[in-house]
Amino acid sequence: MPNKYFHTILFTLLFACLGFSQVDDTLKEVNTDLMVVKDSISMKREPINLLAPSRAAFYSAVLPGLGQAHNKKYWKIPLVYAAIGIPVYFYIDNNNEFKRYRNAYKRRLAGFKDDEFFGTVSDEGLINAQESLRRNKELSLLIAIGAYALNIIDANVDAHLLQYNVDENLAIKPHFKYNERENSSDLGLTLNFKF
C-alpha cells in the first residue's frame, strides 16, 4: 500500500515539474506597435445645428431643388424638376386643348359652323371634352403642387437624417446567405447592440 501512494505522488510531481519546464511562448508578449487605440478625435461629434432642417426646407421653398443641393444630395435635383415639370407640362397642354374645344363650342353657340371640329365632333362631344380636359388640367395642377410640397418635405427630412447618429453601437443590417444544402437563399436582418 505505501508503494502505491509513493508511485501516485511521484507520478503527480513528475507531471507538475514537466508543466513548469516549458519554454515561454513568444506570442504572449504584447506588441505595442500593433495595438489599436480608439482615437479620441473620431469619437467627438459635431454639434447639432437645429436650424439646418428649416434652412433646407426654406431653400427648397424658394427654388425647388436648392434644399437638396444644401444637403449635398445632388442626384435628387433632376428628380425634383421632373416631378414638378411633367405635371406642369400636362397642365399647359390640357389648358391649350381645353381652350381649343371651348372656343369651338362658343363659335357653335354663336351660330358659326366653321370651327375645326365641325362634322367630326358634336356639341355634346365638345362639352364632354371640355369637362374631361378641365378635370385633367386640375389634376395636373394638384400633382405639381403635391410634388412641390414633397420637395420641401424631402429637404427637411433629409437634413434631419444627416444629423442622425449612425454608428456601430446600434445597427440593423440585412443578412444574405446562400444555403447549399437546400439550394436556396437565406434572408434576414441582423440587429446588433453594443454597450
Mean predicted confidence (pLDDT) in 52-78: 94
The answer to the question of residue 137 being in a domain is: yes
Q: Is the pLDDT reported for residue 194 higher than 90?
A: no
The answer to the question of residue 31 being in a domain is: no
Domain count, the chain: 1
Mean predicted confidence (pLDDT) in 75-86: 96
The rounded percent of the chain whose pLDDT value lies above 90 is 46
pLDDT confidence of residue 96: 97
The rounded percent of the chain whose pLDDT value lies above 70 is 76
Q: Under 8 Å CB-to-CB from 39, ≥6 apart: which residues? A: none
The answer to the question of residue 129 being in a domain is: yes
The answer to the question of residue 59 being in a domain is: yes
Q: Are strands 170-179 and 184-193 parallel, antiparallel or unpaired?
A: antiparallel
The answer to the question of residue 122 being in a domain is: yes
Query: pLDDT per residue over 129-151, tens digit each?
Result: 999 999 999 999 999 999 999 99
Q: How far apart are CA 69 and CA 65, in angstroms?
A: 6
The answer to the question of residue 54 being in a domain is: yes
Domain range for residue 64? 50-164
The answer to the question of residue 142 being in a domain is: yes
Q: Is the pLDDT reported for residue 183 higher than 70?
A: yes
Q: How far apart are CA 72 and CA 68, in angstroms?
A: 6
Residue with cell 436650424: 51
Show the cell assigned to 1.
Answer: 500500500
pTM (predicted TM-score): 0.62
Q: Pick the closest to residue 55 from 69, 73, 70 (CA basis).
A: 70
Mean predicted confidence (pLDDT) in 165-190: 79
The answer to the question of residue 172 being in a domain is: no
